[in-house]
Amino acid sequence: MALHTEETEAQFEARWWQLMNEMRARFGKKPDLNALLLLIGVQELGQGAGPFTKEQKQDLMHIATCRLFSLSGHYALDHVDAEGWPHYKLVRPVPFANLKEQERMLKWHMLEYFEAFMREEE
């Protein structure tokens, strides 16, 4: 996995907008962070696009968040339950951050996730 730890803010933003443009091309509109979390959760569940209840959508977003933060060693897959839903365990706490820092961490993890996913599709 390519880590972009020493990239400039401009390089980071360019990667983010490239991903947003790819998502817009694929889905017809630019998704927000919650839509991306839901997409990742559905992908990780691997059972198709739904339909899902509101509670299941929240669970899918939680799965996505755990999966994303597993990329930096904060979570690890614990088990998959009888219905096929993955469950994660906290390995080490995610560092405290203000809202802007949290959003940037989430975006960075999403970039790493989608870049790895797209490499697998090639």
- Cβ atoms of 67 and 113 within 8 Å: the answer is yes
The token pair at 101 is 């820092």
Would you list the DSSP string of 15-37? HHHHHHHHHHHHHSS---HHHHH
**14-27 pLDDT, tens per residue?**
999 999 999 999 88
pLDDT above 60: residue 4: no
pLDDT digits (tens, 9 = 90+) for 81-95: 999 999 999 999 988
**Taking 50 as the threshold, does the pLDDT of residue 46 lie above it?**
yes
Q: Name the burial class of residue 104, with classes exposed (0-12), middle (13-18) and buried (19+) by CB atoms within 10 angstroms of its CB.
A: middle
pLDDT tens-digit map of 90-113:
999 988 888 889 889 999 999 999
